Structure 1
Amino acid sequence: MSSNNQTRQTRMSRNAERKPSGPKQPHTGWRTFRRILFVIVAIVVLGLLAGAGLFFFYAQSAPKITAGALSSDTSTRVYDANGQVISRLGAQNRNYVKNKNIPDTLKKAVVSTEDRRFYKNNGVDPIRIMGAAFANVTGSSLGMQGGSTLTQQLVKLSVFSTAASDRTLKRKAQEAWLALKVDHDYSKNQILEYYINKVYMGNGVYGMQTAAQYYYGKTLKHLSLAQLALLAGMPQSPTNYDPTTYPALAKKRRDLVLEAMAKNNVITEAQAQQAEATSITAGLTKTHKSTSTNPKTTKVIDAYLKQVYAELKSKGYNTTTGGLKVYTNLDMGAQKRLYDIVNGTAYISFPSDKFQVGSTIVNPNNGKVVAMIGGRKTGNVTFGLNRAVQTDRSSASTAKPLMDYGPAIEHLYYPTYEPVKDTAFTYPGTNKNLYDWDRRYQGTITMRKALVESRNIPAVRTLQNVGIKRATSFLAGLGMTFDKTLTLQNGIGLYISSEQEAAAYAAFANGGTYYKPYLVSKVVTQDGKAHKYSSTGKKAMSAATAFMLTDMMKGVMTSANGSGRSAAISGLYQAGKTGTDSYPDDYANKVPDGATMDSWFTGYTKNYAVSVWTGYDKQFETGHYVSETQTTIAQEIYKYEMSYLASKSTNTDWTAPSTVTETTQNGTKEYYITGHAGTVADTTATSQYGSTNTTSSSAYSSNSQVTTNSNTTQASSSTTESSTSKESSSTEQTPGGGNAGDDDDNTTSNSTSTTESSSATTTTQKSTKTNDNDD
């Protein structure tokens, strides 16, 4: 009995040990999980609230979107100075198609391709966003569905830039907000209509109706399933899916659209397979309808437009899908006249269709480029070589006012009658002689005479006195900088464009202020914001320098010995300079006597500055030279164009500023900077071939300039490097020696031979050649 009791007590004791001593407690792991879950939920809720707050904050600053913005094309409209549309890059011949004329098959193809839940979403599709994210991770989307709905894509095309740099959180929030508004305010059919008419379809074509006509020569309602599927798939990458250029890629994309349509149950599998079997090139037209508003007008303004788009690009604008309104400084009347002059036969007889022209016209008072021609007889080439802005041809003697005489007046106070030496000259540190076009020396002459007759040697001697450093600084003030250090030879030839030269000469015209040339005056972006542009004038030289140069350059056209008499216009107050660039000596015997590679004329009034280059693109090909008589063509182009410009502007003369004093020297009206009258020298001419007195006075003006003496006995052509060209030409020279040409300090160099002892900088502007130029 007692044994049984002990057994029961033992069991009860063990059971008691198994029972908990207090209330039952939850498992510790479960408590931790609940806490983590709570934190996650709290973070998600706070994130959603913060995201919603940020979304509505960004949404408040979203641009307005109107029916006009949704329905308009995204081409870049370009206007002339009078506000007339001159070009629409993109949908120039865009044919807007109304909803009732859009085939249901195309609508189904677009929806199946771009937004399968289009009819179910409210403009923004969270399910689509998550699906796109998953597809991007797994790579299962086949490039068919992105995160943006079709409505969001329409909004992006209508009011936002499509540039990758603009894909910010703020922009995406605004895009989503506007998509919700568009979906609320417009029907699905209206949204589809806007989208189908707006998308870019390659080759400057916007809208699927225009694309149907461009690629197939038909309207949308006359296209087959396969053709409509191709068009529906093109907006994602219009260039790569161009069936004429990349048929394989286009077919792959078209077939994906057909598969998506079948998957969306809008066509059968059999229909999809039958369409896929159709050749991608079936029905494509061989001739495409022009996408320009007026092909003839576009050809007239081709060079100007090309430069406009270059200017827009430099400012960061997207001209392809930006939907910009671009207002330019183009004077269409001046542009058409310039085009007619160089392409017609009514004004000038050109030697051949290959003879080329580059010309720029600038308003001296603000830097506006009012007209530009980049070539002649260019055929149907669009945006071809713009010779008006090319910088690989020497400007020849048109460089003399810019690099030689301008700095001399500005820094050395040369009067217009400054004595300059036209005597034998050898480039310092070399055995290379410099000649004038007639291979004669005139001894000591005035600066005015040297400039009017375009004598080379006085110009280079003047540059030598000024110094390369000062001359380079003067050029920089006129908007011209160079990769390599300039040399004495650049004093008779700079590698600059007609645009640069017109803007530089414009500073002479307006009294010394340089305006950087520009074509675009205002840009209005799709969001309605206007961005205005202008050129801020910077003082490049004194009013005295500008006036004195102008007064001397009047004689280029009016003097009996002036080099630019073919540019003269009776009764017009104007000034200008000629320039012709000779062939190198090793090529001179292959062209007729007096033939040149390039011929220039740059002239101006108080209202316009016109620079003209003429020559051949391939100047070393047989027959591609400018004959001596043809060198006047540049002057004639200027004359006919300036005559037109003068007819629509005032004709007023320049007046001397108060810092300039008038005087009479040897019966000629001359000018000097007040307080710097200088000394009149004996300017008896010395001819290499004549018996004129060879006495040359050493009297110079009061400034401390370089005095470079040469033996009065002239060197004969038999003892120097020969040249048969009108303008003596040489191969590249690298003058050596000291640094007299580099210093602003003027040094004196004396020599009793034909070789000058002072030196110039050792680096040439161009590595290929440098020519001696004159007129």
Structure 2
Amino acid sequence: MSSNQPSSRVAKNNRQHRKNGRPKRKLSLWEKIFICILAIFNIALISGALLFFSYVRTAPTISESQLASTNSTEILDSKGNVIWQMGTQKRSYASTKEIPDQLKESVVAIEDRRFYQHGGIDIRRIFGALFANITGSSLGLQGGSTLTQQLVKLSVFSTSTSDRTLKRKAQEAWLAIQVARKYTKNEILTFYINKVYMGEGVYGMKTAAKYYFGKSLNKLSIDQYALLAGMPQSPVTYDPIVNPRYAKERRDTVLAAMVKNHKLTQAQATHYQNVPISHGLIKKHHSLTGSSDSKTQKIVDAYASSVITQLRKLGYKPESAGLKIYTYLNLKLQKKAYNVVNSNKYVSFPSNKFQVGLTMTDPSNGHVVAQIGGRKSSTVLGLNRATQTNRSAGSTVKPLVDYGPAIEYLNWPTFYTLDDSKYYYPGTTQQVTDFEGTYAGNMTMRQALISSRNVPAVKTLATVGTTKASTFLKRFGINNKLYASSALGINLSTAQEAAAYGAFSTGGVYHTSQMIKKIVQQDGTTRTFKTKSKRVMKKSTAYMLTDMMKDVMTSSSGTGKDGHVSGTFEAGKTGTVGYDSTVNVPSGAVSDRWFTGYNRNYVLSIWTGYDQPNKAGNYITSGYNSQIPLYIYKSIMSYAMLNKTSRDWTMPSSVSAITLNGQRQLFLTNSSWNSSSSSTSTYTPSSSSVFSNSSSAVESSASASTTSSSSSSSSSASSSSSSETSTSSSSASATSNTDNNNSSANNSTSDNSANESSSSKASVSSSSDDNKQE
């Protein structure tokens, strides 16, 4: 029996082994990695599905009316009235039967080769786009869109680059599936062909056929269908009139795609690729827009142009975005401004070539309420002269470049004495002159600004230094490089100047120009905009500049007196740009005339001149024509101020007023002046005052004798409209009178060390409200 025990134990062990199974084998490292990857993939798949359904749960609805409607962006005025539509041509809607098969084949070949096989989304295309994103290709999310998805995007979503998100792509795909289920392929193609933007203000390919070729849609040739099919991707780039080279390349790409899609043979494609892109294009395009729309769009053209420019900067494609843009446009003021510059009822213009650019703002918030980009224009969205920055603003920059920095940094009073005598730009042989070639001697800063004398302005910038003046300008968003001659003009637009002068009206607070109040996208998403504001100068600086510029409008020697609106508290500055002496123009002729004026309700900046000032006859003569900006201002501002209360500016506590030689003058309250003399007709500074400037470049002793001479010199400076004229001796160009003078002048005037030292030693204190720079 004992001999049988081992075998029984073996049998028992075998039974136990069969019962428990084989011994467990350990997993290899690669098997563990695979299992982890599989688990992560499943988790990602489930998470992605949950995320997708959370996105589509909030997707907007889409209706047939949205699919069939135009995709035109609308611009609305401050009252909510539509004043501009991106489609300048009235759309003709093509029925499914009207669309030739050749056009459908062209569209499908270039936009979505598998259009007839998928159900709204193309999985192969999506993975292709995903791969492109990973590898850094330019295809990106956009490349995954089918033709149906493109239709959905054009119908309910924004085209802004900032809205190309995974959420939007998910919602776009979901809605594309719903559209593919509800509508036939022919119906989807019909929606798309009628909706897309085709350039030149044209929506829909039926309208495009009439506009570009003067034919109905079924009368075009294969190459013409290919041209139309390729345009929606970039209507401006592929415009056959504007960019024939790129248009041909795109057309030929479409023809090549048709070969791949087996709709053309290679021989046929080659034949049509050899056809000139100009084949069948008509030279004269007849407007397909209703007359009432056309009339309104002409009136608001410049304003709309600026809004569209801003939209593009924000990343939108306004031609295909279907946006509603709510603006601050005051349509009544816009119509008034349009009528003033486009008729001779208010102002007598010398010719139809004489041009105007103007911008009107509300200084309290920076809202642009009106803008005119030209007169007698037959084009839509043409040159906007209100925003052009290639013309010198002449003496309208003196408060910004010269006297503003002098008050802000050097604490000059309005009776600071300046010497108007023979003077050369430092380090050069270039003489500074006024139009009439005479000098007026000693005068106060107030009188120099009122009569717009050039030598005192140049000497002021030389004393302040271009570095400090540049710092002052940058606060207004103006980044022009300054030279010695910049004292008499830098290149600015009326839009820039209106915003800058607005800060004078608000006591030193600058509001960034704002035209757009809010943007409503097709899916209802609203984006609102708020004006950015900041303090750019002391209250005392703004008030003292305004007080002096009030005299520009009311003084007998003021250059802006012809623009004064009776019963209105207002201030302003004229500007003139003259020709170089080598240019053959009549005596007294100038190239540009400006005026920027303001009250507490509005700022209005106006430029006048010719687009080609150096062309024979394109100059502004002296007399009435030189005063046209003032007459425009008076006509528009008089209308704007009807039924409005005109309020004067309140003097801050940091400023005090005295009477010198019968004229009101201002100085900083806490400066070291002998207040006991304030009741007399003359005023003498203490020896420590900043206003006793020792610089040889500027004779600036504000003594009783020099102040008295200021009064006597005012009559010699009273030839107001001509004395301010700035000229360029560096070239014969009439449009660049300031910024191109030689660098030696700039080097000589950048923060003259003697002047800097003098002013810093004699600095005076300001009251607390001026020391706060917000």
Q: Residue 634 of structure 2 aligns to a residue in which SS? A: helix
Which structure 2 residues correspond to residues 156-235 of structure 1 after superposition, within 5 A? 156-160=153-157, 171-186=168-183, 190-217=187-214, 235=232
**CA distance change for structure 1 residues 387 and 164 in 2, over 3 Å: closer, same or farther?**
closer
Pick one of 729, 747, 768 that aligns with 2:758.
Answer: 747
Which structure 2 residues correspond to residues 657-672 of structure 1 after superposition, within 5 A? 657-672=652-667
In terms of mean alpha carbon deviation, does 235-244 or 189-198 score higher?
235-244
Per-residue deviation at 1:394?
2.1
In terms of mean alpha carbon deviation, does 464-473 or 528-537 score higher?
464-473
Report what 1:376 is aligned to: 375
CA distance in 2, matches of 1:492, 1:252: 55
**CA distance change for structure 1 residues 276 and 467 in 2, over 3 Å: closer, same or farther?**
closer
Q: Residue 73 of structure 1 aligns to a residue in which SS? A: coil
CA distance in 2, matches of 1:250, 1:490: 48
Report what 1:628 is aligned to: 622
**CA distance change for structure 1 residues 641 and 673 in 2, over 3 Å: closer, same or farther?**
same
Which structure 2 residues correspond to residues 368-767 of structure 1 after superposition, within 5 A? 368-380=367-379, 382-482=380-480, 484=481, 486-587=482-583, 590-629=584-623, 630-647=625-642, 649-676=644-671, 678=673, 702-703=689-690, 706-708=693-695, 727=725, 729=727, 730-731=729-730, 732-733=741-742, 734-735=744-745, 737=748, 740-741=751-752, 745-747=756-758
Report what 2:326 is aligned to: 327
Which amino acid in 2 is paired with 1:572? T
Q: Residue 349 of structure 2 aligns to a residue in which SS? A: coil
Aligned partners of 2:417 and 2:442 also within 8 Å: yes
CA distance in 2, matches of 1:272, 1:467: 68
Pick one of 45, 50, 54 that aligns with 2:48.
Answer: 54
Aligned partners of 2:326 and 2:518 also within 8 Å: yes
Per-residue deviation at 1:570?
1.6
| Percent identity between the two aligned chains | 45
Per-residue deviation at 1:558?
1.3
1:307-356 alpha-carbon deviations (Å, 9 max, x no partner): 22222222222223222222222222222222222222212222233322
Report what 1:140 is aligned to: none
1:268-323 alpha-carbon deviations (Å, 9 max, x no partner): 99x99999999998876554343666333333333222222222222222223222
CA distance in 2, matches of 1:249, 1:512: 54
Per-residue deviation at 1:97?
4.8
Per-residue deviation at 1:470?
2.6
Report what 1:73 is aligned to: 70
Give aligned pairs, total. Answer: 678
CA distance in 2, matches of 1:226, 1:459: 64
Aligned partners of 1:109 and 1:228 also within 8 Å: yes
CA distance in 1, matches of 2:360, 2:237: 40
CA distance in 1, matches of 2:113, 2:424: 81
**CA distance change for structure 1 residues 677 and 571 in 2, over 3 Å: closer, same or farther?**
farther
Report what 1:87 is aligned to: 84
CA distance in 1, matches of 2:172, 2:67: 13
Runs (5+) with no aligned partner, structure 2: 1-28, 132-142, 700-705, 710-721, 731-740, 761-774
CA distance in 1, matches of 2:82, 2:494: 26
CA distance in 2, matches of 1:207, 1:528: 24
Which amino acid in 2 is paired with 1:476? K
CA distance in 1, matches of 2:640, 2:89: 31
CA distance in 2, matches of 1:457, 1:501: 23
Report what 1:151 is aligned to: 148
CA distance in 1, matches of 2:279, 2:426: 72
Report what 1:29 is aligned to: none
Per-residue deviation at 1:669?
3.0
Aligned partners of 1:452 and 1:562 also within 8 Å: yes
Structure number, greater radius of gyration: 1
CA distance in 1, matches of 2:754, 2:537: 20
Per-residue deviation at 1:186?
4.9
CA distance in 2, matches of 1:432, 1:281: 54
Per-residue deviation at 1:179?
1.7
CA distance in 1, matches of 2:551, 2:127: 78
1:479-514 alpha-carbon deviations (Å, 9 max, x no partner): 2212x3x23322222222221111111111121111
In angstroms, what is the RMSD of aligned CA positions? 4.5
**CA distance change for structure 1 residues 469 and 243 in 2, over 3 Å: closer, same or farther?**
closer
Q: TM-score under structure 1 normalisation?
A: 0.75
Per-residue deviation at 1:609?
0.8
CA distance in 2, matches of 1:447, 1:240: 54
Aligned partners of 1:414 and 1:701 also within 8 Å: no
Aligned partners of 2:367 and 2:513 also within 8 Å: yes
Per-residue deviation at 1:601?
1.0
1:450-488 alpha-carbon deviations (Å, 9 max, x no partner): 211112223333333333333222222222212x3x233
Aligned partners of 1:601 and 1:634 also within 8 Å: yes
Which amino acid in 2 is paired with 1:624? N
CA distance in 1, matches of 2:406, 2:273: 77
Q: TM-score under structure 2 normalisation?
A: 0.75
**CA distance change for structure 1 residues 283 and 615 in 2, over 3 Å: closer, same or farther?**
closer
1:109-131 alpha-carbon deviations (Å, 9 max, x no partner): 76677667656643234477789
CA distance in 2, matches of 1:369, 1:460: 32
Per-residue deviation at 1:398?
1.4
**CA distance change for structure 1 residues 162 and 742 in 2, over 3 Å: closer, same or farther?**
farther
Q: Residue 321 of structure 1 aligns to a residue in which SS? A: helix
Report what 1:8 is aligned to: none
Q: Residue 61 of structure 1 aligns to a residue in which SS? A: helix
**CA distance change for structure 1 residues 198 and 59 in 2, over 3 Å: closer, same or farther?**
farther
Report what 2:736 is aligned to: none
Runs (5+) with no aligned partner, structure 1: 1-34, 135-145, 686-695, 714-724, 750-775
CA distance in 1, matches of 2:525, 2:681: 66
CA distance in 2, matches of 1:480, 1:36: 64
**CA distance change for structure 1 residues 255 and 581 in 2, over 3 Å: closer, same or farther?**
closer
1:610-645 alpha-carbon deviations (Å, 9 max, x no partner): 111222233233333222212211211111121121
Which structure 2 residues correspond to residues 234-313 of structure 1 after superposition, within 5 A? 235=232, 245=244, 287-290=284-287, 294-313=293-312
CA distance in 2, matches of 1:175, 1:88: 26
Q: Residue 78 of structure 1 aligns to a residue in which SS? A: strand
Q: Residue 74 of structure 1 aligns to a residue in which SS? A: coil
CA distance in 2, matches of 1:442, 1:414: 21
Which amino acid in 2 is paired with 1:745? E
CA distance in 2, matches of 1:363, 1:122: 54
Name the structure with the higher helix share.
2
Aligned partners of 2:78 and 2:326 also within 8 Å: yes
